[in-house]
């Protein structure tokens, strides 16, 4: 888990990540943006999940926490789209 950003990017936002559009079924990794206050616990940093739906400007992400499936409401700046490989 990274606590700090590089000096040149500290306090700055990537607008492309802030306004990114995600579709239902996209796989995402949760990655906290330190410059923006987040409303989810730090323990979810780095966990992958699936986009379920959009709620306002945020997305509902389904994750697996142990044996339970949970839903988190997260702003798009804290999400990184990843490619899902088939087995």
- Superfamily for the 7-81 domain: Ribosomal protein L21 (2.30.30.70)
- pTM for the complete prediction? 0.83
Give the pLDDT mean for 25-29: 95
Taking the CB of residue 24, how many other CB atoms lie within 10 A of it?
A: 11
Q: Which residues pair with 69 in a beta bridge?
A: 64
Q: What is the pLDDT of residue 5?
A: 80
Q: 28-71 pLDDT, tens per residue?
A: 999 988 888 877 788 888 999 999 999 999 999 999 999 999 99
Sequence ranges of the domains in the chain? 7-81
Checking if the pLDDT of 87 tops 60, the result is no
Taking the CB of residue 11, how many other CB atoms lie within 10 A of it?
A: 8
- Separation CA 72–CA 9 (nearest Å): 27
């Amino acid at each position: 888990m990274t606590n700090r950003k590089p000096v040149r990017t500290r306090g700055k936002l990537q607008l492309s990540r802030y306004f990114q559009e995600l579709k239902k079924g996209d796989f995402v990794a949760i990655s906290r943006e330190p410059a923006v206050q987040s409303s989810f616990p730090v323990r979810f940093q780095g966990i992958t999940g699936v986009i379920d739906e959009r709620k306002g400007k945020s997305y509902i992400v389904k994750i697996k926490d142990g044996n339970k499936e949970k839903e988190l409401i997260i702003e798009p700046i804290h999400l990184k789209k990843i490619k899902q490989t088939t087995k």
